[in-house]
């Protein structure tokens, strides 16, 4: 066992975060901490590293073990470069290498016992140097940086010039290279693209130490962890298995708790009714029996009513008007920034009712496309056309469309002045803003709270084309599930950027991947993308033979787009034909059964003419069904 937390309690004022919770982590174990926003996950990590002291209980790390912590936000302003910053973690190994080189020079001038003594010392240090992976040090640093999404040209950038997300990735790289016995990671994948997340999954699975992770990415948790620690209303509960195992066990426990609660409530009501009836007899014997039952009832340990997590959060998008069938047409779109071509000759269309996810590595231009469509950024070339009666609702991941100095009530009332104060409070309450929360300034809200407010505004907009930039960022898993259901039930059209693979799998009917400055179209969810990614990338977005070239072959790009369009048209035609064939089969099978029923009736099988007519029709139906079955089999392949 590497970490033990026994009966820990932590409160801030009257707000109890953790009440008498216990758990432990074994060496090499990979563990997730889950719970809704505000449940105390980050507080728990800060108690483990000693930043907070528990009000009671103990937090014990095994003697001689090291611990490393990645906070959600990094405030680093070093003038060192990215590469230097990560290399600094290995200063002991670098000094060891310098000592070895110096000893090699000394050996040239020594002999006899002095040389033997130095050789012995050299061999000892050399073995330790090899044990510390010193010979592959630079490639290890480079591998971690590339795994976390940095390009080689980024290595020389100074830390102080980086964005907050880039600083977090540098801090994560430092931590991974330092290799503590216990890694504490608070939202480590918030600033990673899909490729980097997949790399980190593999890294952590093979990590020799123990890992404790706070994350809301269910794919990530399913892949990495073998135990889940849940924080729920101050209680700590441990579950073995990955996130899916935890969710299934949690659902079973919740169902069992509800049944136990309802059964007890029913029994209490029954006993109260019996007591009342006995008292109504107004006889001494009956009253004594009633009093006896009352005493028994008082001794019952009344079960608490199970709390339905987020049962009071309601999210329902409803378009005010229906758009035309053609919602968006993008033609020959191009965008670059100095020294960085994002994409060129981009072409795609979106139809009414589609749920389309845009994916791709960091820096490929996903958010830029959304900004162009919302006219917050100008394209270098090309154009886009919105269909008839299309009204856009935009969710910005940075929440720049929110006014930071306004209160929550002002933010809603200024956009919707016809809403009454009660109506505004009801809407905010549906997004878990109650009481005095509605008078908070937006700049005082957490990232998750700002996200919920932005979703509330989006819901009120009644738009029929939702454009969402990282809508699940800062949302806990329960809120994500509510958003997933809202999008699945939405009758309008959705285009969104997300790194949450589980969310994409649950909501996307189509995926557009930005790769090698072009777009690849996948008609399916994330599982389909994983199945077809390698195959379609080779066809539609092959890696340029000259990596230094910044200009893709426009003619080739257009040809690829034409091929994609042709394949999409063929796929739609196949699906329509398949549906039509299935309907025809169902209709003929129904008629065949009707004929069989008719021919079993006496008034029919005694009427030779009618019987012959039905027999001929039956033969015709069977012949048509044979042809349709064959056609269905071909279309299904």
pLDDT digits (tens, 9 = 90+) for 318-349: 888 999 999 999 999 999 888 788 898 899 99
* pLDDT reported for residue 550: 44
The span from the first CA to the last CA of the chain, in angstroms, equals 53
- What are the tokens at 503? 């969310």
Which residue stretches of the chain have pLDDT < 50? Answer: 546-552, 554
In angstroms, rounded to a whole number, what is the distance separating the alpha carbons of residues 170 and 159? 8
Which helix (H) or strand (E) element contains residue 394? strand 392-395
320 with 329: CB under 8 angstroms?
Answer: no
* pLDDT reported for residue 450: 84
Residues 6+ apart with CB under 8 A from 277: none
Q: Is the pTM of this model over 0.75?
A: no
Give the number of other CB atoms < 10 A from CB of residue 269: 10
Question: In residues, how long is the chain?
Answer: 637
CATH superfamily of the domain spanning 41-246? P-loop containing nucleotide triphosphate hydrolases (3.40.50.300)
Among 540, 544, 586, CA closest to 563:
540
- What are the tokens at 272? 């109260």
* pLDDT reported for residue 568: 65
Computed on alpha carbons and rounded to an integer, the radius of gyration of the chain in Å comes to 33
192 with 148: CB under 8 angstroms?
Answer: yes
Among 93, 103, 199, 183, CA closest to 136:
93
The alpha carbon torsion through 615, 620, 626, 629 (nearest 10 deg) reads -110
* pLDDT reported for residue 636: 66
Q: Which CATH number fits the domain 310-391+462-525, given the four candidates 3.40.50.300, 3.40.50.980, 3.40.190.10, 3.20.20.70?
A: 3.40.50.300
Three-state SS at 104: helix
Residues 6+ apart with CB under 8 A from 216: 187, 472, 475, 476, 477, 480, 500
* pLDDT reported for residue 106: 83
* pLDDT reported for residue 547: 45
Angle at 454 between CA 32 and CA 164, to 5 degrees: 55
């Amino acid at each position: 066992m590497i970490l033990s937390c026994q009966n820990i309690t932590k409160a801030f004022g009257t707000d109890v975060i953790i009440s008498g919770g216990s758990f432990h982590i074994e060496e090499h174990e990979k563990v997730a901490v889950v719970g809704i926003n505000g449940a105390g996950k980050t507080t728990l990590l800060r108690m483990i590293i000693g930043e907070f002291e528990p009000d009671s209980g103990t937090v014990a790390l095994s003697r001689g073990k090291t611990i490393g912590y990645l906070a959600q936000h990094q405030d680093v302003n070093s003038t060192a470069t990215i590469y230097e910053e990560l290399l600094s973690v290995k200063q002991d190994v670098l000094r060891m290498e310098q000592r070895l080189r110096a000893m090699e020079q000394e050996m040239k001038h020594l002999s006899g016992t002095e040389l033997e003594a130095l050789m012995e010392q050299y061999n000892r240090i050399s073995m330790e140097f090899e044990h510390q992976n010193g010979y592959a040090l630079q490639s290890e640093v480079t591998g971690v940086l590339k795994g976390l999404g940095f390009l080689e040209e980024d290595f020389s950038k100074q830390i102080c010039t980086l964005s907050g997300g880039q600083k977090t990735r540098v801090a994560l790289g430092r931590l991974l290279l330092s290799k503590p016995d216990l890694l504490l990671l608070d939202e480590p994948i918030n600033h990673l693209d899909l490729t980097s997340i997949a790399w980190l999954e593999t890294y952590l699975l093979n990590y020799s130490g123990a890992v404790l992770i706070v994350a809301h990415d269910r794919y990530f948790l399913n892949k990495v962890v073998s135990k889940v620690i849940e924080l729920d209303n101050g209680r700590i509960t441990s579950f073995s298995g990955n996130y899916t195992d935890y969710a299934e066990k949690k659902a079973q426990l919740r169902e069992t708790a509800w049944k136990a609660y309802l059964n007890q409530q029913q029994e209490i009501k029954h006993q109260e009714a019996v007591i009342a009836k006995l008292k109504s007899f107004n006889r001494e014997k009956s009253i004594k029996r009633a009093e006896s039952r009352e005493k028994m009832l008082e001794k019952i340990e009344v079960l608490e009513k199970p709390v339905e997590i987020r049962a009071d959060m309601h999210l329902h998008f409803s378009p005010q008007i229906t758009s035309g069938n053609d919602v968006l047409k993008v033609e020959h779109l191009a965008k670059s920034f100095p020294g960085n071509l994002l994409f060129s000759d981009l072409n795609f269309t979106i139809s009414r009712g589609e749920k389309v996810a845009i994916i791709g590595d960091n820096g490929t231009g996903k958010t830029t496309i959304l900004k162009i469509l919302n006219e917050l950024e100008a394209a270098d070339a090309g154009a886009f056309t919105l269909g008839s009666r299309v009204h856009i609702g935009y969710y910005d991941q940075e929440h720049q469309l929110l006014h930071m100095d306004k209160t929550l009530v002002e933010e809603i009332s200024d956009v919707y002045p016809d809403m009454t104060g009660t109506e505004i409070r009801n809407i905010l309450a549906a997004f878990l803003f109650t009481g005095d929360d509605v008078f908070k300034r937006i700049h005082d809200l957490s990232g998750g709270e700002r996200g919920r407010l932005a979703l509330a505004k989006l819901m009120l907009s009644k738009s029929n084309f939702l454009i969402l930039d990282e809508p699940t960022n800062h949302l806990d898993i329960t809120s994500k599930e509510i958003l997933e259901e809202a999008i699945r039930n939405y009758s309008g059209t959705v285009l969104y950027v997300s790194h949450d693979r589980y969310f994409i799998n649950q909501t996307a009917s189509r995926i557009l991947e930005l790769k090698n400055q072009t777009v690849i179209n996948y008609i399916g969810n994330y599982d389909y993308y994983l199945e077809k990614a390698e195959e379609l990338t080779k066809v539609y977005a092959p890696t340029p033979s000259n990596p230094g070239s910044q200009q893709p072959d426009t003619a080739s790009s257009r040809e690829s787009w034409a091929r994609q369009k042709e394949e999409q048209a063929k796929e739609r035609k196949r699906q329509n034909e398949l549906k039509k064939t299935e309907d025809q089969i169902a209709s003929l099978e129904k008629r065949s059964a009707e004929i069989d029923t008719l021919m079993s009736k006496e008034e029919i099988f005694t009427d030779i003419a009618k019987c012959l007519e039905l027999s001929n029709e039956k033969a015709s139906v069977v012949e048509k069904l044979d042809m349709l079955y064959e056609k269905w089999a071909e279309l299904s392949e």
